Amino acid sequence: MRYLPHTKEDIDQMLAITGHASVDDLFETIPNALKTKAPLDIPEALSEWDLDAHMETLASANIACKNYKCFIGAGSYDHFIPAIVPYLISRSEFATAYTPYQPEVSQGTLQGIYEFQTMITELLGMDIATASHYDCGTALAECALIALRKNKKANKIAVSSLVHPSHRQIINTYITPSGYELVEIPRTEEGLTDTAALAAMDGLAGVAIQSPNFFGNIEDLGAFKAIAEAKDILFITSFTESLAYGLLKNPGSCGADLVAGEGQSLGIAKSFGGPGLGLLAGSKKLMRNLPGRLIGRTKDANGDDGYVLTLATREQHIKRGKASSNICSNNGLNAMIAAMYLATVGKIGIREIAQQNHDNAVYLKEVLEKAGFESVFDAPFFNEFVVKAPKGFSQKRTDLIQSQCIFAGIDLESYYPELKDHYLFCATEKVSKKDMDQLAKEVQ
């Protein structure tokens, strides 16, 4: 829609109705000390075509993975998206970001979200899933709040130091103002969360473990469940790579009480870092503690299937004091994308794609080791892993972006200062053997 500014006549008519002499009078309640005195430092206005050209110039400074070979994961993964998914989601009846409130006119969207919830529960082995959140970090923070509210005698949540660093920051942002404390569980030399350290901790309301963890290593979730049961606290798991559960045991089978995850891998493009898709699932006993929305299936007056907003535990729907979250919007569009992707590839497809990811990562690690990189951990991993780079790799890595259009891993030093010269590499189904061989050749 074009931007059409108000004419002077339009403004005069509106001011006559509000009873103000000028537009400035609309802001008379703002103290003068808070008003900007100097003119705003903004450039002169551009014509529409000049503005379009300027925006295209700015956009061209970004680099898209479709034009580059991407060996970066760390929470955002470059996967193949079947052509049917963007085609279907572009249809006008699906293009909304919100859960509809009028079931009588929104059956299609409500059914789509219901199917999304159903498939997520099957993927994760849980009883119930919500209608999605902003991203994994916010979903995980909500899980931490649930644990702290359920156990009123404790004010600490134990979080693995191998949970995504950004997600740990989000949890801190959520819980610290309420007087709660995040306690980090250290890692072992094998790149796994230290079970003994967790067992020695007291005063906890819950424990959160990511698997595959930030290093790509697969945690023993069963061992952490046993510790959580012994302490009578909630066991929370998280993940950033949804496709891992095409091969791994799902969190439900490992006894998770709550699961938070990132659904970006399920048909959603990287899009320069967002938006993502926050997945949140739980056991039936925690159903009324889950934030956000739940879509349910029922029968109408004629006995036909119908879909409705069943639970919505936020301020708009229930008493403010009983609301479990201030989550206001559901990533409806991305939830629909994930449902379309899962329905397109199916159970067998998910397993095959996951196997390709794992096999490619194993091959990439092998060729990098032959090129002079050192293996750091022996633990099983999924589609990303940590290696120590040979001398001079940092400059080569920068040069590869410009000369060969290759993104070669992520430097871990900024996240873990003790891991200088260590890099996190990722291989999905989109990188070929030829791509991996080329990378190994370039970094020798």
CATH number assigned to the domain comprising residue 421: 3.90.1150.10
* pLDDT over 90 percentage in the chain: 73
Instruction: Report the domain count for the chain.
Output: 2
Is residue 108 located within the same domain as residue 182? yes
Rounded Cα–Cα distance for residues 3 and 327 (Å): 31
In-domain check, residue 162: yes
Q: Are residues 370 and 273 in the same domain?
A: no
In a domain, 57, yes or no: no
| CA proximity to 310, closest of 163, 98, 101 | 101
For the segment 319-324, the average pLDDT, to the nearest whole number, is 61
What pLDDT score was predicted for residue 31?
A: 93
183 in the same domain as 139: yes
Q: Is residue 52 part of a domain?
A: no
Q: What pLDDT score does 3 carry?
A: 62
Q: Band of the pLDDT at 294, cuts 50, 70, 90?
A: confident
Single-letter amino acid code for the residue at 97: A
- Residues 334-340 have a mean pLDDT of 94
170 band by pLDDT with thresholds 50, 70 and 90: very high
> In terms of domains, do 263 and 332 share one?
yes
Q: Which domain-ending residue is among 315, 342, 369? A: 342
Residue 99 maps to a domain:
yes
Task: Name the β-bridge partners of 297.
Answer: 307
pLDDT over 90 at 122, yes or no: yes
Residue count (the chain)? 444
279 in the same domain as 209: yes
Q: Does residue 393 belong to any structural domain of this protein?
A: yes
178 and 277 both lie in a single domain: yes
More confident residue, 112 or 193: 193
Reply yes or no on whether the pLDDT at 311 is more than 90.
no
User: Which neighbouring-strand residues pair with 294?
Assistant: 311
Phi-psi bin for 61: left (phi > 0), alpha (psi -120 to 50), beta? alpha
pLDDT beyond 70 at 316: no
CATH number for 197:
3.40.640.10
Confidence of residue 98 (pLDDT cuts 50, 70, 90): low
The range of the structural domain enclosing residue 351 comes to 65-81+346-443
Coil, strand or helix: which one is 154?
A: coil
284, 250: one domain: yes
The pTM score is 0.86
**Kindly report the CA angle at 156 between 151 and 157, in degrees rounded to 5?**
90
Whether residue 33 lies inside any domain: the answer is no
Question: Would you say residue 9 lies in a domain?
Answer: no
- Name the H helices within 371-432: 393-403
| Same domain flag for 170 and 97 | yes
- pLDDT, residue 171, reads 97
Q: Exposed, middle or buried by CB within 10 Å (0-12, 13-18, 19+), for 275?
A: middle
pLDDT higher than 60, residue 44 = yes
Domain termination site, one of 323, 342, 361: 342
Q: Based on the domain organization, do 356 and 322 belong to the same domain?
A: no
3-class DSSP assignment, residue 273: helix
Same domain, 295 and 359: no
Q: Determine the Cα–Cα distance for residues 145 and 133; give it in Å rounded to an integer.
A: 15
Residue 132: which of 296, 290, 318 has the closest Cα?
Answer: 290
Q: Is residue 42 part of a domain?
A: no
What's the pLDDT at 110?
Answer: 87
Task: Return the pLDDT at 1.
Answer: 43
Which of 342, 361, 383 represents a domain boundary (last residue)?
342
Residues 220 and 322 in one domain: yes
If asked whether residues 104 and 74 sit together in one domain, one would say no
Instruction: Give the Cα separation of 297 and 279 in Å (integer).
Output: 20
Q: Contact, 241 vs 426, CB < 8 A?
A: no
Query: What is the H or E stretch that residue 206 is in?
Result: strand 204-210
- Identify whether 291 is preceded by a cis peptide bond (ω within 30 of 0): no
